[in-house]
Amino acid sequence: MERNNKIEKNYMSPEQIPTSDRGLDKYLLDLGLTREELAGKRILDLGSGTRRFAKEVEDNGIVADVFSVDPIFEDPDQKIEKGADELAGQLAETDRPSITKKTVAALGENLPFKDNSFDFILAEYSLPAHAISEKQIDEFFQNSMRSLRVGGELRFCPPVNLQRKELTAYVERKLTELSKQNQYEVIKSGQLTVIKKLQ
């Protein structure tokens, strides 16, 4: 499949999906977490953008293993050339070996990690908010659940699709399906959705 070899071009268009520069405090607030909950955990930041979250976790002395995943890392220069004026500086701020060695160019629906790899998968204004098809939503949930350890959590916000409003209802149906399975617990609170892998 072409997408497995090359990230889809619409992900590289800042006018369609801007690159995120959200940091630790924003993640904690939106995703209902504390610094203490992150400590000692293996975390996947899905749609990490500039990797500011990973940098600020490290800068705040939180000992956690943060992996940053974003399609921009396939060709960051192309994204910068397409008009993201501040992006080069933001990426330079996070360009340190402890962060770059855990940076992966990938899509949320095609995660290149082994099963049971993460305690937390965090998707702050990533998928499913920017999904463009039902298939992409299906693959996002399937890959996220596969990549979580037992007891691990997928935390995402918002629970709506920002690209195609009609996909919001599909996300809701997927959450209902997951909640009916004994291996997951689905908790919704305002803009936050948490899916805990029970077995």
- Alpha carbon dihedral 44, 163, 138, 50, in 10-degree steps, equals -10
Q: CA-to-CA distance for 111 and 88, rounded, in angstroms?
A: 25
Mean pLDDT computed over 178-182: 95
Residue-wise pLDDT for 128-137, tens only, equals 988 899 999 9
Half-sphere exposure of 184 (CA within 13 A, CB side): 22
State the pLDDT at residue 77. 56
Q: CA-to-CA distance for 195 and 198, rounded, in angstroms?
A: 9
Residue-wise pLDDT for 28-57, tens only, equals 999 999 999 999 999 999 988 889 999 999
Q: How far is CA 104 from the centre of its chain?
A: 12
Top-level class of domain 2-197? alpha beta
Domain ranges of the chain: 2-197
**Of 23-37, 98-112, 154-168, which one has max mean pLDDT?**
23-37
